[in-house]
Each structure stands twice: as structure tokens, then as C-alpha cells.
Structure 1
Amino acid sequence: MKKLLAMFAALSLLVFAVGCNSESSESAGGSAEEGTESVAVVLKTLSSQYWKFVEAGAKDAGKDLGVNVTVIGPSSESQIMEQVNMVEDSLNQDPDALIVAPTQPSTVIPALGSAEQQSIPVLFVDTDADWEAKTAFIGTENFEAGKAAGELLASKLNKGDKVALIAGALGNPAMDARIEGAKEALEKAGMVVAAEQPADSDKTKAMSVMENILQNDPDIKGVYSANDDMALGAFRAAKGKGLDIPIIGTDGTIEAVEAVIAGKLTGTVAQSPYDMGYQGVENAIKAINGEEIEKRIDSGIDIITAENAQEKLDFLKGIVGE
């Protein structure tokens, strides 16, 4: 009987010890990975330098704040359904928050229904979306960015000069807003918008589009592009025709800033993609913790010309460790 009681006591102690260890683990949030908030980030693509800066900002914020950050994106900005699938897959992983740069908001929004049902905060970066359940938008006021670029281009031209506008993929609201802003500034300054064509944010396609524009109207005196890759493509086309005309891009990528220093591009209107990524994660954590955040956070713009390009280049290379 004593042996039986001793065995029962030992077994009780063992069960108690296991229970305590389990409770201690749960109260500490389990393992470090289980106890850390997770933020999923779905960008328009990871194939361009601009989005690499957004990715770097988000990942740095994750390190600084002790958060698990996963960043993914389609093979190109034209792969809209690939991005939709990535949003759905990310939500299936049950993240604590989701950050999205929607290429085509109207197509992405239906995929966000489960986030609303699960009360997962959703923040948009770079491109806003008309969705009542969103937590916040962080990015540049794209119309103002385009307007600043248009004003810069107009300052290099004479009243009545013809200009060309190279847009992004059709239905991309950020690109559309930039083009509208540039068009307003250029027309107000007396320029004639002689051509407006999409090039899907692709350098090679933009070169082909610009070649066609110049073939139809060789009297183009200046170009505004809704992103830097397309601006560089337009430069190649103009150079191939032996033209030296002012070309303004948007985004402020390393390649574009180097092109400004080399005299290939006249300028670029830089956004703050690194800050977008960083502030996206930073505000996602605030939302997870129930803190109130602003619905719209302007990350600002920076006009880069030959005068300040080297300073900007040094900063950008510092981000990517070059």
C-alpha cells in the first residue's frame, strides 16, 4: 500500500511539473517565433529597385521592433492576379497584420474580405484603395508628385513645346494620378501634351513606346514618365534618334539618380519607398496593439536634379549596403 501511495505521489508531482512548464511556456508566449507578431507584406513586385527599397524598410522595421516580417511580390507589376493570389495566401497564414501595395485596387479588394472577418489590420502603402475597412494608407500623394515633375519639366521648355507622357499599366491609380498631376502642370505652363501612352512600368516596353511616339511626332521636346524605369527606356529611344531632350522620371531609384548625375535624365521626383516600408510595419504594430493611427500618412517627395543627386545617391547606397 505504501509503495502504491509513493508511486501515486511521484506521478502527481510529475504531472504538476509538466503542467507548470506548459503554463510557464504559454504565459511567456511560447517560443520566440510563436510569441512574436507577424506582418505579411505584399508588394506590386520585387523585380525593381524601387520595391527593393520598400522591402528593405519593412524588414529593417521588423528587426528593430522584433516582428516577423514576410515580404513577397509578383514577378512584374502587370501580374495582377498573381498579386491577388499572394494576398489570399498571406491571409491564409493568419498574420497579425497585412500590408499591401495594390497594383489594381478594385481587383485586390475582394481578396481582403477574410481580413475584415478576422479583424486583421490592413494597411496600404504606395497606392491607396477605396475600401472602408482599411486601417491606413502610407505613401506619396501621387498627384502632387506628378505635378512637381510637370513643373520641373516645364521649367526646361518654352511655351507651346510638345511633350510626351509615359504612363504605367492601365488601371494603376498611382501611375494615373502622377500622369494627371504632370498634365495639369504642363498644360498650365503652356505646354502641349502631344502623346500619352502606357508602358506597364517596363524599361524595354517604354523604349518601344517612345520610339513609336517619336516616329509619329519627331517634334517632341520633353518627356515625363510615371516611373524611372520607363524614363530610362524613353532616354534610350531619344538617344537612338539623336535627340537630347529633358526627361523626368519618378521614384528616385539608384539607377535613375546615377542617370541624373550622368546627364541622361534631367531629374526624378523621388518618393520615400524605404520610409513607406518602415512606417508600414511600424504602424501595423500600433494597429495590432490597439493604438489609434492616422488614416492617411504622407511619406513626402524629394525633387532630384543634378544639384542634389550625389547626396541622394549616397543615401540610397547606404540603405542597400553598397
Structure 2
Amino acid sequence: MIKKKTKLFSTAVVLTCMALLAGCGGSKGASGGGGEERVAVVLKTLSSPYWKYVEAGAKAAGKELGVDVTVVGPNAESEVMQQINMIEDQLNQSPGALVVSPSQPDTVVPVLETATVPVLLIDTDAKLKNKTSFIGTENYEAGYEGGKLLSSLLQKGDKVAIISGALGNTATDERVKGAKAALEEAGMVIVAEQPADSDKTKAMSVMENILQKNNDVKGVFAANDDMALGVLRAVEAKGLDVKVIGTDGTLEAVESILDGKLAGTIAQNPYKMGYEGVKNALAAINGEKVDKRINSGVEVITKDNAQEKLEFLKTISK
């Protein structure tokens, strides 16, 4: 009798392990929450701090709300086909809802439109017929706040430059539009606007070229923090006093602000995007009304509040 019970128990354990392995699907990522409902979260990548913050928010929501959350992402944001394969893989496992940050919206939309469950987009929006909600930053607002902050540190008539992302990147394009509006309203003179593809090294090179023609530039708005840090290198190499504002609120940027280097950054809230993505996915599963657009907000980070922001980023980076 005892042997029979042991055998039954062993079989149950094996079946449970098989079920868990099937749920993981072999993709890069992790599960959390352990609830009855399952939400699949597919990010652009899991290899950068920004997306780790999104993952942390999603897992926190899963834990608090009792939802089984699976988070996966490609090796790099450029791995668009890998992301599409991950989306297909997660849909084949019949989650209750799907939360996605599409790397290349137009390419990813066809597979998302095959979903028969609620689909929520975070960070990056797309024209999707079956979209339940978009949760993310209003990028024009982020850029406008960045332009306002930069203007507040300068005098009317000062020359400024703008460093944009890759051509066609809708998020950074909107940030640039917002920044330009704020800078022009404040009477700044925009002498240069050049793309640096969200790359630190390229931004340094672009800024070096700008300074050759305009060595009296007093301020720079960069559409992401990596570019802002690259701009800073070029400025420091010339020994110039140029105010540089970034966008995103990454840990490296916040540390730079505390060191008296970057003048500020406009922080997105990736943790909130992840949290709200899972929270609203559960609401959609339960048939509750979900807003079509949810603004995750922005935060102006300067030396006054950088320490508080740094401590928060460190807690969610663990």
C-alpha cells in the first residue's frame, strides 16, 4: 500500500514538472505570480536595464494580483523575427492575455492580429485592430518637458542642438517634436538637429561635428539617455559648459546627474508600464472595461530628486 502511494506521488510530481516545462516554452525569460490566470509578456529584449524595469513591474503585478506571469524577450531589440517567434510560441500556449512591446510595429502586427485573447501594447504603440489598450509614455509630452527643463537653465536667444534617434523611430520623433516646441516657445535658437540612432558612440561623434560649426552652443536635448551621455563626452572633451538633457531616466543617467555632469533627464516609468500591463490584462480577462490609452507618465529628474530616483531604480534592479 505504501509503495502504491509513493508511485502515485512520483507520477504526480513528473506530470507537474512536465506542465511547468511546457509553460516555459524554452524561451528566454521567467514566470512569476503562480495564479490561475496566465498573462504572457513579450518585450523588445531582456538585455538592457530599461526592459528589466518593465519585467520587474510585470512580475510585481503578478505576485500582488495572483496572476501567473511569463516574461520573455529576444537577445536584442533588433531581433524582430525572434520576437515574432516568441509571440507565436506564447499564443500557442493559450494565455489568458498577451502583453507586448513591439520592436517593429508594422512587422509584428500580422501575428498579433491572429490572437483570440486580449492584446495590450506597452511602451510602443501600433495600429492593431484587436488592441485592447496601449500603456506607455506620451512621447511628445516627454520631449516638451525636456525642452522646458533645458530652457529654464539658459537665457533667451541661446543656441541649442537636438540629437534625435534613428529616422522613422516614432517614439524619439515625437520627443523631438515636443522639445522643439518648448525650446522655440522659450526663445531658444535651434542651430542643429541630427540623428544618432540612440547610440552613445554615434552621439559623441555627431556632437563633435556640431561643435566644429557651433562651438557656442549652450544646451542640448537628446531623445534618449545613451545619446545624452555620448553628447556629454564630446562636450567634456572640449572643456565646454553645455547643459545636456536626456530622456528615459536610466540608472547611468541618474548617476551622471548626481555627479554634476548631465543637467537632467525626463524619466519614463517602465516599471509602471509592466505593472499596468499585467493589471489591465487581468481586468480584460475578467471582462472589465479597460481604457484604450493609459499614460504611464513622465518625471523630470534633476539633482534635487536624483538620489531618490536612484534608490528606487536600485530596488527594482535586484
Q: 1:233 maps to what in 2? A: 230
Is the Cα–Cα contact under 8 Å of residues 77 and 201 in structure 1 kept in the other structure? no
Q: 1:272 maps to what in 2? A: 269
1:159 and 2:159 equivalent? Answer: no
Partner Cα distance (1:168, 1:43) in 2: 20
1:316 and 2:306 equivalent? Answer: no
Q: Which amino acid aligns with 1:38?
A: R
CA gap of 1:224–1:85, structure 2 versus 1, over 3 A, is farther
Structure 2 counterpart SS, 1:316: helix
Deviations 1:246-278 (A, max 9, x none): 111111111111111111110111121111101
Q: 1:97 maps to what in 2? A: 97
Deviations 1:170-195 (A, max 9, x none): 32222111111111111121222222
Question: Over aligned residue pairs, what C-alpha RMSD do you find?
Answer: 2.5
1:36 and 2:33 equivalent? Answer: no
Partner Cα distance (1:75, 1:184) in 2: 36
Q: 1:206 maps to what in 2? A: 203
Structure 2 counterpart SS, 1:220: coil
Between 1:301-310 and 1:106-115, the stretch displaced more is 106-115
Partner Cα distance (1:80, 1:192) in 2: 38
Q: 1:23 maps to what in 2? A: none
Is the Cα–Cα contact under 8 Å of residues 78 and 200 in structure 1 kept in the other structure? no
Is the Cα–Cα contact under 8 Å of residues 113 and 130 in structure 2 kept in the other structure? no
Q: Which amino acid aligns with 2:214?
A: D
Is the Cα–Cα contact under 8 Å of residues 275 and 299 in structure 1 kept in the other structure? yes
Q: 1:297 maps to what in 2? A: 294
1:192 and 2:189 equivalent? Answer: yes
CA gap of 1:35–1:158, structure 2 versus 1, over 3 A, is closer
CA gap of 1:290–1:305, structure 2 versus 1, over 3 A, is same
Structure 2 counterpart SS, 1:195: strand
Q: 1:288 maps to what in 2? A: 285
Q: 1:88 maps to what in 2? A: 88
Q: 1:75 maps to what in 2? A: 75
1:298 CA displacement: 1.3
Q: 2:144 maps to what in 1? A: 147
Q: 2:4 maps to what in 1? A: none
Structure 2 counterpart SS, 1:307: coil
Work out which of the two has the higher radius of gyration on C-alpha atoms and give 1 or 2: 1
Q: 2:215 maps to what in 1? A: 218
CA gap of 1:56–1:112, structure 2 versus 1, over 3 A, is same
Q: Which amino acid aligns with 1:47?
A: S
Q: 2:64 maps to what in 1? A: 64
Q: Which amino acid aligns with 1:49?
A: P
Partner Cα distance (2:164, 2:43) in 1: 19
1:171 and 2:168 equivalent? Answer: yes
Q: 1:52 maps to what in 2? A: 52
CA gap of 1:185–1:45, structure 2 versus 1, over 3 A, is same
Q: 2:15 maps to what in 1? A: none
Q: 2:253 maps to what in 1? A: 256
Deviations 1:10-45 (A, max 9, x none): xxxxxxxxxxxxxxxxxxxx99x7973222222223
1:81 CA displacement: 4.1
> TM-score, normalising length from structure 2?
0.84
Is the Cα–Cα contact under 8 Å of residues 104 and 172 in structure 1 kept in the other structure? no
Partner Cα distance (2:207, 2:73) in 1: 28
Q: Which amino acid aligns with 1:232?
A: L
1:130 and 2:127 equivalent? Answer: yes
Partner Cα distance (1:234, 1:103) in 2: 25
Between 1:182-191 and 1:145-154, the stretch displaced more is 182-191
Structure 2 counterpart SS, 1:75: coil
1:157 CA displacement: 1.7
Q: Where does structure 2 lack aligned partners over 5 or more consecutive residues?
A: 1-18, 24-33
Structure 1 counterpart SS, 2:239: coil
Q: Where does structure 1 lack aligned partners over 5 or more consecutive residues?
A: 1-29
Partner Cα distance (1:230, 1:72) in 2: 27
Partner Cα distance (1:76, 1:204) in 2: 18
Partner Cα distance (2:167, 2:103) in 1: 10
Identity of aligned residues (%): 66
CA gap of 1:95–1:106, structure 2 versus 1, over 3 A, is same
Aligned length: 292
Structure 2 counterpart SS, 1:153: helix
